[in-house]
Structure 1
């Protein structure tokens, strides 16, 4: 497996991964329909965020997207194909993004986490610092996580 930059022409593929990974947690069709727009990427979104994919044997297994507003960054998406969850792909993507953020001189990463993914981000060293409104479901609050990357905060 290797990590490489995502290509803008992979937006539809990445959208499929995001939707399948979200559905992995057992959300019903109505919930998934409400999330579809927020989880849909286009070529511009892939380019706007620093998006990387985990690939093995030509198959994209997952992806992560980072936005940067110094001195902080935001992990805006991290999704893994459901048949590969639990095999270290998410960890590898997270560590890659974390290392890139550190190399860019960022002091912290924030993450608006799905509640089901909060234990993963805690295992990666992030702490919950509050909550943030869902971009898809009115009135739903999501865990807001933070990973401190270095001095300055």
Structure 2
């Protein structure tokens, strides 16, 4: 059974706490224990005051449930995919793909030519499937001694402009 397509829209004031909990739930999907997730909490915490500056976009189902979000950070020409998380119940139903496609389109329209991604190891295959390439590793901001895959996504000129929100 397929899930309905999500509507993508800018995050609204008051949604940061729900996005933080979604990020932690999504991270927990990969089997990390409670201590690991608690160590990541500060890095995964969204704040209402930063939603717009981080260009936060949410994926929302027709019933109003937020099932994913992503941030586009930095200034052109090189940007950063700061966060991208999908609710575990909807992983594999196109939510991540919709967010990634929208991210690339918005980034290109804003003048970005390259996005860097510090990926959870469990998400690396997803980003590679979206066209990113692994360029190295980077230290985790939450777990001392842990190294995350560093990926880059070059934005081609044929990426369509984002749909109006």
* TM > 0.5: yes
Aligned to 1:9, the other structure's residue is in SS state: coil
Match of 2:77 in 1: 71
Rounded Cα–Cα distance in structure 2 between residues aligned with 1:11 and 1:67? 16
Can you give the 5+ residue segments of structure 1 that lack an aligned partner in the other structure? Answer: none
Question: Quick check: which one's helix share is greater?
Answer: 1
**3-state SS of the aligned residue for 1:122?**
helix
State TM-score, norm by structure 1. 0.95
Q: What aligned pairs does 1:34-73 form with structure 2 within 5 A after superposition?
A: 34-57=39-62, 58-73=64-79
Asked whether the equivalents of residues 7 and 46 of structure 1 are also in contact (C-alpha less than 8 Å), the reply is: yes
Alpha-carbon separation, structure 1, partners of 2:125 and 2:156: 22
Structure 2: which 5+ residue stretches go unaligned? 1-5, 158-165
Q: What CA RMSD, in Å, does the superposition of the two structures yield over aligned residues?
A: 1.0
> Can you list the C-alpha shifts for 1:90-132, whole angstroms capped at 9, x where unaligned?
0000100110011112111110000000000000000000111
* CA–CA distance in structure 1, aligned partners of residues 66 and 33 of structure 2: 25
2:18 counterpart of 1:23: no
Q: Does 1:136 align with 2:116?
A: no
Give, in angstroms, the shift of residue 150 of structure 1. Answer: 3.5
Query: Normalising to structure 2: TM-score of the pair?
Result: 0.89
Match of 2:89 among 61, 83, 86: 83
Q: CA deviation at 1:56?
A: 1.0
| Partners of 2:102 and 2:137 in 1: CA distance | 25
Moved over 4 A (4+): none
Select which of 124, 133, 143 maps to 1:127. 133
